[in-house]
Amino acid sequence: MSDIDMKQTRAESNEQRTTTTVGETEEELQSEWSAYEFDGQTKISVSDLDVYYGSDQALRGVSMDIPEKSVTALIGPSGCGKSTFLRCLNRMNDRVSSARVEGSVTLDGEEIYQDGVNLVELRKRVGMVFQAPNPFPKSIRDNIAYGPRKHGDIDTGLLARLLGDANPEEEEDLIQRSLRQAALWEEVSDRLDDNALGLSGGQQQRLCIARCLAVDPEIILMDEPASALDPIATSKIEDLIESLAQEYTVVVVTHNMQQAARISDQTAVFLTGGELVEYDDTDTIFEDPNSQRVEDYITGKFG
């Protein structure tokens, strides 16, 4: 389609839009608004995802493909289902007894909603970082080593020492590597045995990211990872997210539009009712969205 044709189509669809009294437009969702095409490999593919909590529906027919090694931002007003969507990607909603998930999510083409999926293994591949930093009340070292010890990737616990297969060098390497990747090493290298709760909020959040990286995930889900932090700590997390995308597939929920615009490659906009309204290159979403509702949301007319 030529540029002129495209402008004409947009102008026509603009005419069809009718604004309600609350400023929200009644517009038909169009599947092409969320049919995002990209060059890279698909890492995660979601189709026709519906999620219910009891009889309330939190997500409606969401379909989207997420490219590997990139940052995908999820934005939208409170309650539109962003956290619910994120939790579907590593089956964390399984822990919510009232939640019912229908539809399909594949990782590298393999369905995660099928019998026999090892959830421990799945959550190792798909790590998660939450809004409030939640380090364990243990040393910095133990926070990082916890996952690899649990998964048996390193053995330095008492049993391993008794059996003679403790591997302190391997653990030291892993701790250093994870903290470096999370841009925290310089700040904590001389206090690895101090309690993690003594770190600042921003440092705690980077520790949680390091803890997530230590089990060697492929995908990192982040639910508003910087919303509790000051601007300097936030900018460190943002830089970190961008650098992580060279190796990992990062999916991040944020309420901060500028943040989404700064750090993400593609942006998915969910709106009230749990619908994915539009999904495209971040530049397109912020500069030239197809949906009037998305434009209104982004320019702050409603939320």
Residue numbers at the binding site for ligand ATP (CB under 6 A): 53, 58, 78-84, 96, 98
The least CB distance from residue 83 to Mg ion, in Å, is 3
- Taking CB within 5 to 8 Å according to partner kind, which of Mg ion, ligand ATP, none is near residue 264? none
Among 34, 83, 254, 291, binds Mg ion (CB under 5 A): 83
Q: Which stretch binds Mg ion (CB under 5 A): 40-48, 82-90, 160-168, 173-181?
A: 82-90
HEC readout, 50-114: EEEECCEEEEEEEEEEEECCCEEEEECCCCCCHHHHHHHCCCHHHHCCCEEEEEEEEECCEECCC
Nearer to ligand ATP, 82 or 211 (CB): 82
- Taking CB within 5 to 8 Å according to partner kind, which of ligand ATP, Mg ion, none is near residue 80? ligand ATP
**In the block, residue with structure tokens 């009230």:** 272
- Taking CB within 5 to 8 Å according to partner kind, which of ligand ATP, Mg ion, none is near residue 40? none
Nearer to Mg ion, 129 or 210 (CB): 129
The least CB distance from residue 86 to Mg ion, in Å, is 8
The CA distance from 118 to 114, in Å, is: 10
The least CB distance from residue 177 to ligand ATP, in Å, is 32
217's tokens: 């995930």
Is residue 178 close enough to count as binding Mg ion by CB under 5 A?
no
Indicate the burial class of 115 (C-beta count within 10 angstroms; 0-12, 13-18, 19 or more).
exposed
SS3 label, residue 280:
strand
| Residue 239-258 contact track with Mg ion, rule CB under 5 A, x = bound | --------------------
The CA distance from 276 to 54, in Å, is: 21
Closest C-alpha among 107, 60, 120, 116 to residue 84: 60
Point out which residues bind Mg ion (CB under 5 A): 83
